Amino acid sequence: MIDFGDAMVGPRDYDFLGPSMFSCGGDPSLVGALFRGYFQEDRPIGLQTRMRLMALAALHRYANFDVQLCIPNWRERADSFEALAGLIWP
């Protein structure tokens, strides 16, 4: 059975949000493995990519960082969107 109830048209980068924010918890090895698995090559996550993902995460209709982020003390550790993006996608 395939459930298309939440399927939406949008940038493919949306596919990274759930796994990277909830499952990877800011761990560089896990985030790296996620991106390597998708792109089939090592690809550094630059500032432009981090900020694009951060914008998509903040604007997503189901955005709730308190639930989605599994990074301890993320509120105290990030005082800007740039800093938060660096925690999520190191």
Return per-residue pLDDT of the chain as tens, 90 residues.
Answer: 666 666 677 788 888 888 889 899 999 999 999 989 888 878 788 999 999 999 999 998 888 999 989 899 999 999 999 999 999 999
In a domain, 9, yes or no: no
In a domain, 74, yes or no: yes
Number of separate domains in the chain: 1
In a domain, 6, yes or no: no
Ramachandran quadrant class, 44 (left: phi over 0; alpha: psi -120 to 50; beta: rest):
beta
In a domain, 64, yes or no: yes
Residue-number span of the structural domain to which 68 is assigned: 14-88
The pLDDT assigned to 28 comes to 93
In a domain, 79, yes or no: yes
- Scanning the structure block, which residue is given the tokens 């939406």? 8
Tell if the pTM clears 0.75, that is, is over it.
yes
